[in-house]
Chain A
């Protein structure tokens, strides 16, 4: 009896607390600041909830002092949301473009990011009936590269990609030369590895030129492949390219790397067979050994994220409970 009455008292207290929390939230609404709203909006963007972020940016813009960095950020955030809300529409994209154009005149990071965003709008298909305009995109990327050292590497990669996307041999080669020229002057830029890998991919297809493709991949790997944890498929490609080109020394290095560094790619056993065929030493696959002393199976640095390597055609458990288990 005593317990029951305590429970009722607790329920009543809970109801009162709920009322108190609601009143507090209502009262707090009046004291919102531009900084607080910007933070909330950016948090929504980090959840990819652009529709929820848009009104928060708009409200922050109203509260921020005109011309202040906060007002500029709020406007940029608003344009980002208009560009990214799903589904994209011609009206919203047009509105976003107009805002970015205003911001692109600013001589700061927001200005350069706006130039890049305008390039992206020109390059991508945003809505039904939208047509990519690669020359226009290129112009915006070039402007961004001239305006900022900070985004110059990214802008260069984007410029090169607009040429490669034309898919005719001359344009594709021009795209690669833009990358290699930039890399000659900026060999250790943060995107250097991604640039070499992209050049390698492009030599492989559409150019079907295996020799330079392998050279580019080797340069990318020397810097450390960009996509941590997804090295397996690239190593397998490099080993196979080298094998087909008769560069056995390189093939041996990469077949060995697959066994030792990326055994979860699924290609360790086939690498063992290849090494046997090439007459090279065959390392053991150190994976899933029951009760084995702990040796992490991979060589992924502790700071970078890893990514799944499971291929879509691997045998999977049948639909139903088995699929849900993991």
Chain B
């Protein structure tokens, strides 16, 4: 048989199936080389043009176009000044942003301006200091692009509504990014559907009205012979509801629980309250909170915790759900898709029970949004070839006029003082009135996992409240993974943290001594003050012995440490 084949084959030796593979490899090589050359040409500055590259992962509708418009204005204004500048936008999907950025940073090829996040190298202090320019000196000076506005003489960082507090790196005592936006969460609803179901397209103003609208949407679906989910719930959005309402129901417990009076009930303080009886899951307000959340989650439909963000959004734009809770970052996409599907979108804040409505006697007020930090921060690559030009573009991007323009086109919330969200985004503007404290029976990672599991079962209706209470009590008192063990872990972390601060202090001493840094002593004092205040974790240890009448060593021994 094989002999026959050999004798009958008349094809040249190189024409076989393997050759197709070889040809494909060669073709791919040629194409990739050509592409590399093309990119090289794009980045060529041979005609005297300065090229600034800016990378981000914001692929939602609107962002790239708005940034492109800003770039055009910048290039034109630079040209008018006689400078040839080109800004290249590099959008990269969030799925590969981290590895792509890591490789770029390490290879010295990173863009001049980088949207910070996703990658560990933009969060870890060691790499942050290595690859990004500390911007503290710059942000303490006014932004020249605010000239002619009321912000002309205001330090750059103070031109943002939160004074850039959320972007400060405490360990390095520096700023490494400048914000462009802020984010907030609201409930989106299908106005047409709500009008058909309830007779009005006005947004629910109270919790009672929200539940009533849900009931009518459900009825409407049934009358049409199809299932309409009042709210498109998912694993992604359930936390938005539970966190908002948790503050409303439990903020009144702050005075009894906040031992150090810093305005925050820490998990440790909550645990002290739990073992001392100040916080219990059978307290009327706590019970009412869980009851309210279960009632709300009934509107999400069965199996909501198995759905992801995209599925819920799909249900909403396909008009299989009347409402959806999500963040301002999704607004443009939802507006656009709703427009294509032929319905109007309305927006409202998470409503609170009004006086006389169920649950109202347990609610102290709405949660505040005063702590909403600024975000969308861009950092300046330390090895940028055009440091000054990139910084200039960053100043331009975050000036009052341009931040307003970009965010208006993106349908996001601007962060510069004197700007405002566009008409339909106005409802996203953070509301500074309200309370801060939230109390849940969780202390430490193990208990958090346990709580999330129990909460999910309870909210889905597969577990009774009493069972959840019993399970959490058992978990909190578990000697191996309960509250005492969590305290031990937190103590060990505090000891480590104190030791790590020692590294920052040593770094400042060396900077002052060998690099002549004139800000070292100020930074050193700040870190020193923070470190001394913790007493190397010993305050935490003493408090444990006082509250639990035993030692952390005994706890460690009990868990086999």
Contact = CB atoms under 8 A, between A and B. Distances in A.
B34 A4 contact: yes
B158 interface: yes
Interface string A29-61: 000000000110111011111100000000000
Given A124-B499, A266-B436, A290-B426, A302 B158 contact: yes
Contact of B327 (A154, A240, A294, A325): A325
B418 A292 contact: yes
Contact of B510 (A42, A232, A300): A42
B185 A295 contact: no
Interface of A: 3-4, 7-8, 10-11, 38-39, 41-43, 45-50, 73, 76-77, 80, 83-84, 86, 88, 109-110, 113, 117, 120, 123-126, 132, 154, 157-158, 161, 164-165, 167, 190-191, 194, 197-198, 201, 204-206, 226-229, 232-234, 236-237, 240-241, 263-270, 285, 287-288, 290-298, 300, 302-322, 324-326
Given A10-B37, A73-B513, A191-B528, A290 B420 contact: yes
Contacts of A8: 37
A307 B247 CA distance: 24
A262 to B, nearest CB: 10
A264 B536 contact: no
A243 B530 CA distance: 26
8 contacts: A48-B126, A197-B529, A206-B546, A285-B432, A296-B417, A298-B162, A311-B436, A325-B327
A310 B371 contact: yes
Contacts of B327: 317, 322, 325
A106 B532 CA distance: 27
Nearest to B535: A165
Nearest to A44: B130
A194 B525 CA distance: 8
A234 B262 CA distance: 7
B161 A287 contact: yes
B253 to A, nearest CB: 12
B541 to A, nearest CB: 8
B529 A226 contact: yes
B150 A80 contact: no
Contacts of B190: none
A236 B263 CA distance: 7
B514 A77 contact: yes
Contacts of A288: 161, 369-370, 372, 429-432
A194 B522 contact: no
Given A83-B506, A269-B435, A326-B375, A47 B130 contact: yes
A300 B162 CA distance: 11
A48 B368 contact: no
A206 B539 contact: yes
A228 B136 CA distance: 13
A164 B155 CA distance: 40
Contacts of A310: 165-166, 371, 373
B307 to A, nearest CB: 13
B264 interface: yes
Q: Which 9 A-B pairs have the closest CB atoms?
A: A326-B375, A7-B37, A315-B243, A318-B239, A42-B514, A294-B417, A290-B420, A311-B264, A296-B158
Interface string B24-41: 000000000110111011
Contacts of B526: 226-228, 305
A266 B517 CA distance: 35
Given A42-B510, A229-B163, A317-B327, 19 more contacts: A86-B503, A125-B495, A125-B499, A167-B538, A190-B521, A237-B261, A263-B432, A269-B432, A288-B429, A291-B419, A294-B418, A298-B162, A309-B165, A318-B236, A318-B237, A318-B240, A322-B329, A324-B117, A326-B166
B319 interface: no
Contact of A267 (B126, B136, B436, B525): B436
B158 A315 contact: no
Nearest to A198: B532
A229 B246 CA distance: 27
Interface in B272-294: none
Name the residue among A154, A167, A317 with the largest chain B CB count within 10 angstroms: A317
B183 A43 contact: no
Contacts of A321: 94, 236, 309, 329
A309 B33 CA distance: 50
B103 interface: no
B360 to A, nearest CB: 18
Interface in B304-362: 309, 326-327, 329
Contacts of B434: 269
Contacts of A296: 154, 158-159, 163, 417
Contacts of A307: 165, 168, 170
B407 interface: no
A269 B170 contact: no
A306 B163 CA distance: 8
Contact of B525 (A86, A191, A205): A191
B248 to A, nearest CB: 10
B265 interface: yes
Contacts of A157: 528, 532
A93 to B, nearest CB: 11
Contacts of B161: 264, 287-288, 297
A234 B264 CA distance: 12
Contacts of B541: 167
A291 B498 CA distance: 43
B511 A47 contact: no
A38 B506 contact: no
A109 B513 CA distance: 9
B437 interface: yes
A305 B370 CA distance: 20
Nearest to B545: A167
B550 interface: no
Nearest to B240: A318
Contacts of B170: 307-308
B498 A293 contact: no
A310 B171 CA distance: 16
A264 B499 CA distance: 30
A317 B532 contact: no
Nearest to B156: A302
Contact of B166 (A86, A205, A291, A308): A308
Given A46-B515, A318-B238, A313 B163 contact: no
Nearest to B369: A288
Name the residue among A241, A297, A312 with the largest chain B CB count within 10 angstroms: A297
A295 B173 CA distance: 25
Contacts of A312: 264, 266-267
B536 A320 contact: no
B483 to A, nearest CB: 16
Contacts of A324: 94, 117-118
Contact of B509 (A113, A132, A285, A314): A113
Contacts of A293: 150, 418
